[in-house]
Amino acid sequence: MKRILFITANRLGDAVISSGALAELRRRYPDARFTIACGPVAASYFEACPGVERVIVVSKRRFDLHWAALWWACVGQWWSLVVDLRGSGVSLFLPSFRKRILRGGRRPGARIGHLSALFRDKPVLTPQAWARPDQERLAGAILPETGRYCALAPTANWDGKIWPAENFIALGREMSARGLVPVLFYGPGDDERARAQPVLDGLEGAIDLGGQAKLGLVTALLRRCALFVGNDSGLMHLAAAAGIPTLGLFGPSRASEYAPSGPKARFVAAPGPEGEAPIAGLTTERVVQEACAILADEG
């Protein structure tokens, strides 16, 4: 049996993008067993993926000792293939028949396109998201089919990417007027909660689903929503990978590199030079227009 080590990102967004490469490996090696090494935020994302038998959490340590810990956790296995998306030196010192190492550092162009270079035929990669049957059942109890829902993700990993709270409130009210219940998603921790709180306070009747849920359950919950609108964030990439209609909001981050990727994924960018445009320049009217166009296309 083939055993494949897949070393991927700390951040959720990058981990979701990397799942396109993981899905391609699963297609090519359907009987392989996978070990995933990733950061703590992304760990539960991979737990529901078929073929994954182990997830190793790589928590950053001083003096890069996290790489030594990863080496120690993996050196006892002879790997059929090691795929290292971090460009870390640790993969060079693990016993394996083959290695595919993506060099580190930022470079222009879509990140998911960079990952296709791992394969000689450079396939088109599509990110994936997974949920266990029990998570699907729980999601059905939380968001029953009797309602229609619009997922809103008003947070991000830095404030420059966050569309103003009053705009999210106005958007949520517009969606409510069209019969969709706003559902708020955000990440774990007090900082994420604080960023989401003004939107929660301003949207009466909104459902608060942020915080501590495992990402398999978050995936199942997102799939019960008619639309997702959110900042450039890990949740945006997760929604696109889950296959629901997704509208990503971009300001000073680059859509050419990190636009959501999926069969129903779109983005809208604030006016101005890419990578420098203030996200506050993205008007509520424009976002509402784009969101309504997506809903109309979906019927």
Q: Which residues pair with 182 in a beta bridge?
A: 150
Question: Closest by alpha carbon to 56, among 64, 65, 69?
Answer: 69
Cα atoms in the 13 Å half-sphere on the side-chain side of 12:
26
Residues in a beta bridge with 28: none
Considering the domain 3-118, what is its CATH architecture? 3-Layer(aba) Sandwich (3.40)
Q: Which residues contact 262 (CB under 8 A, 6 or more apart)?
A: 126, 127, 240, 241, 242, 243, 246
Which of these CATH numbers, 3.90.330.10, 3.20.20.100, 3.40.50.920, 3.40.50.2000, describes 138-298? 3.40.50.2000
Do 3-118 and 138-298 have matching folds?
yes
pLDDT at 298: 85
Crossing angle, helix 234-242 and helix 12-28, to 10 degrees? Answer: 30
The pLDDT value given to residue 143: 98
Q: What are the Cα distances from residue 279, in Å, to 250, 274, 287, 295?
A: 6, 11, 12, 23
pLDDT in tens, the chain (299 residues): 899 999 999 999 999 999 999 999 999 999 999 999 999 999 999 999 999 999 999 999 998 899 999 999 999 999 999 999 998 889 999 999 999 998 766 677 888 988 998 999 999 999 999 999 999 999 999 999 999 999 999 999 999 999 999 999 999 999 999 999 999 999 999 999 999 999 999 999 999 998 889 999 999 999 999 999 999 999 999 999 999 999 999 999 999 999 999 889 999 999 999 989 999 999 999 999 999 999 999 86
The reported pLDDT for the residue numbered 106 is 67
- Domain-wise residue ranges, the chain: 3-118, 138-298
CA distance 51 to 107: 31
